[in-house]
Amino acid sequence: MFFKNYSRYIGLFWMLLLIAAVSISCSGDDGGDPADTSEPASKAATEKPASKAATAKPTSTNVPAPSGPTGKVTVGLDTVAPLVQHPRKDINATGGIGQNFSVYENIVKAPFVGPPAPPPQDSTKYSPSDQGIAESWVIATDLSSITFKIRSDIPWHDNGGNWGFVTAEDVAWTYNEAFALDSVSNGAEEIGDGMKAGFEVVDSMTVKQNIKPDGFDPTWAWLQGNAGFNGIVIVNKQAFDDLGEEKYASTPIGTGRYKANEWIADDKVELEAVVGHWTGKDANVKNITILSMPEAATREAALRTGEIDIAQLPAQVITSVVDAIGGTVQEIGIARPQGLQMAGNYWSQKCPGCDNGVMERPGFDTALSVGLDKFPWVGNPADPASMESARKVRWALAMTIDQQSIIDNILDGRGRVNYAWENILPDDPSHKDSWVIPYDPDKARQFMAEAGYPDGFDMEMWNYSNGSPGTISSANAVAAAWRKELGIEVSIDGTEYGARRPQTVDKSINVPFVHGINWIPGSTAARYICPGQGQVVGFTMNDEQCDLGLSNATEPSLQARIDNNITNQDYLTEWMLFVPMFQAPAILFVVSPNIESWSPYNAQDVLPNNLESMTLK
């Protein structure tokens, strides 16, 4: 306001003194004026507008372009995870909100690929020019290690103190903690055991990732970068040592384009753009507020009133909200199968990464000791009759799900029929007719009778309350169909995902639960259905199938990896260890009309990302 008034007075002075044309002193239309509002925000933020303002004609009434990030965006998420920050104990906060909202950074970064195309898996597609923490890397000729040179000019955010610059020690500590046997890191669980031989410091700015014999994964950069699922981000070791675990958990210290000034679990995160970021390109928007809004109805109301600018909404209402506010829809992520994991069927126990090479399976042991008649969906590999009975029960459950009805009546058409845990749709050339599950309640009742349960049984289903509304409603409808058609009395546990997830890590869960993973063709999907030290989705295949599926971690041929997953799917369908409901679309976000442009990259994560690319109207 002062600048405008000052300019007006100066203009009046020159008009009276020189008797110049009035238009010169007040029009503001000079094409050379630095405040031209048609200038793209990203360009205006990098072209030193302050120096232009100093030489502008004193007669201009326009305000100079801002010299740094400006404006604010508010995002409503269904949950704000507790920070923790310690790589061994942080499930998905730093690798979730922290990574996607650019508070933290990864050792490598994926080349930009916008939705809906999947990010590249081939690590040869990744380059230091994409500006990860590493400025270069060299893979040993015998594939026994990757040596990373760390950039020397990456400063830590100054929360809690002056922490200097990223060093090799930070990188090694981050990964070794995430790779620990008792780690709960989602990002670490994605990485195969062969790549987890440990990181060692070579010198202050060089670190080596050791790899077990025959353990090299050609997709390592995807898994360790920002486009995988809850990737491992680099955190500060000195701060952990100096602050102690408790204070460290409340003091977010990253290196990204946004600094977290406040992070309160289940409440909010306040972010502020870093000016003079080491990459040479700052964010356009100055402040980002992330609000925890577990209820979709709350997010919808907040979008309609303008309280928030971005939020995920269920398919049933997204179109009406976009139309009402004049906004747009932004898709992020990979479509995923949704269904019931038939937990308790932990068959293979062979686990090179576990203590004594054997995975404990308390969920199976409990079912066996209580009696499998109380867990009719669980089969005992040592008892062929038990295996066949449980197989028929699981098939009966699957044949009582009318997928098309769920898609039409619950998902408002935003979904697709899917029969494959491996995320292979019926129109994919790889799909097999033998995977198709008919909707046939009569046949399902026949199978139940043959299995010894003509009148049904009691069963618990974990349908976590912080899942997507469409998935929650669909699983509830499935439970109602099982009651009606098969006489199964289903009790539903709505415990939030994070609270019960540890049971999938310690393998104690033995009840069907809602879950799905958005696999990309050729992924090492078997990591989640074979023995491992981290999360397993409630069951494991047999040794033969696990050996085949896990070989993807070192198989250089994409087609060979796809073929292995097809063979695994044959097995999963035969034994019906995953009872599918539908394929959910990639996550859809409503975007306020206040946002001029935004270029999120695509990833397996399902959070808004790359907000530094955003410009406001």
Which band of pLDDT confidence, cut at 50, 70 and 90, is reported for residue 145? very high
Which band of pLDDT confidence, cut at 50, 70 and 90, is reported for residue 63? low
**AA identity, residue 442:** D
Q: Please report the pLDDT score of residue 55 as a whole number.
A: 32
Q: What is the pTM of this model?
A: 0.72
- Residues 61 and 207 both lie in one domain: no
- Residues 97 and 137 both lie in one domain: yes
Strands of 86-166, DSSP E: 134-139, 145-150
DSSP for 217-276 reads -TTHHHHHSSSSSS------HHHHHHHHHHHHTTS----SSEEEEEEETTTEEEEEEPTT
Q: Please report the pLDDT score of residue 64 as a whole number.
A: 57
Tokens of 612: 């530094």
Angle at 38 between CA 34 and CA 41, to 5 degrees: 80
Show which of 17, 33, 67 is a domain's final residue.
67
pLDDT value at 17 more than 80: no
Cβ atoms of 310 and 589 closer than 8 Å: yes
Show which of 67, 101, 122 is a domain's final residue.
67
**AA identity, residue 562:** I
Q: Please report the pLDDT score of residue 62 as a whole number.
A: 56
Chain centroid to CA 478: how far?
A: 26
Please provide residue 462's backbone torsions phi and psi, each rounded to the nearest 5 degrees. Answer: -95, 110
CATH number of the domain that 536 lies in? 3.10.105.10
- Residues 504 and 479 both lie in one domain: yes
Which band of pLDDT confidence, cut at 50, 70 and 90, is reported for residue 33? very low
- Residues 43 and 106 both lie in one domain: no
Dump pLDDT digits (tens) for 409-459: 998 888 999 999 999 999 889 999 999 999 999 999 999 999 999 999 999
- Residues 132 and 46 both lie in one domain: no
Cβ atoms of 555 and 561 closer than 8 Å: yes
Q: Please report the pLDDT score of residue 533 as a whole number.
A: 87
Strand 539-540 relative to strand 345-346, pairing: parallel
* Half-sphere exposure in the Cβ direction for 262 (13 Å, CA): 11
DSSP for 174-192 reads HHHHHTSTT---HHHHTS-
Q: Mean of the per-residue pLDDT values for the chain?
A: 89
In the predicted model, what is the mean pLDDT of residues 65-69? 74
Percent residues over pLDDT 90 in the chain:
77
Dump pLDDT digits (tens) for 328-385: 999 898 889 999 999 999 999 999 888 899 999 999 999 999 999 999 999 999 999 9
Percent residues over pLDDT 70 in the chain:
89
pLDDT value at 29 more than 70: no
In the block, residue with structure tokens 């799909």: 431
- Residues 486 and 599 both lie in one domain: no
In the predicted model, what is the mean pLDDT of residues 200-226? 96
**How does 351-364 read in b/e, with b if 16+ C-beta sit within 10 Å?**
bebbeeeebbbebb
Helix (H, G, I), strand (E, B) or coil at 533: coil
Chain centroid to CA 119: how far?
A: 13
Cβ atoms of 312 and 607 closer than 8 Å: no
The residues, ordered by sequence, that sit 6+ positions from 22 with a Cβ below 8 Å of its Cβ are 15
Helix (H) or strand (E) holding 199: strand 199-203
Closest CA to 279 of 34, 613, 614, 596: 613
Q: Please report the pLDDT score of residue 40 as a whole number.
A: 34
In the block, residue with structure tokens 């349960």: 453
- Residues 37 and 148 both lie in one domain: no
Number of structural domains the chain divides into: 3
Helix (H) or strand (E) holding 315: helix 315-325
In the predicted model, what is the mean pLDDT of residues 251-265? 97
- Residues 142 and 279 both lie in one domain: yes
Which band of pLDDT confidence, cut at 50, 70 and 90, is reported for residue 532? very high
Long-range interactions of 133-141: CB distance < 8 A, separation 24+: 133/105, 133/106, 133/107, 133/108, 133/166, 133/171, 133/234, 133/255, 134/107, 134/108, 137/108, 139/216, 140/211
CATH number of the domain that 223 lies in? 3.40.190.10
- Residues 387 and 330 both lie in one domain: no
In the predicted model, what is the mean pLDDT of residues 123-151? 97
How far apart, in whole angstroms, are the C-alpha atoms of residue 72 and residue 74? 7
pLDDT value at 390 more than 60: yes
- Residues 536 and 598 both lie in one domain: no
In the block, residue with structure tokens 């295996």: 387
Show which of 67, 100, 119 is a domain's final residue.
67
Q: Please report the pLDDT score of residue 65 as a whole number.
A: 55
Please provide residue 139's backbone torsions phi and psi, each rounded to the nearest 5 degrees. Answer: -95, 125
- Residues 306 and 369 both lie in one domain: no
- Residues 491 and 575 both lie in one domain: yes
The residue with greater pLDDT, 53 or 246, is 246
Task: List residues bridging with 83 in a β-sheet.
Answer: none
Give the largest Cα separation in the chain, rounded.
105
The residue range of the domain holding 535 is 336-584
pLDDT value at 393 more than 60: yes
Q: Please report the pLDDT score of residue 3 as a whole number.
A: 35
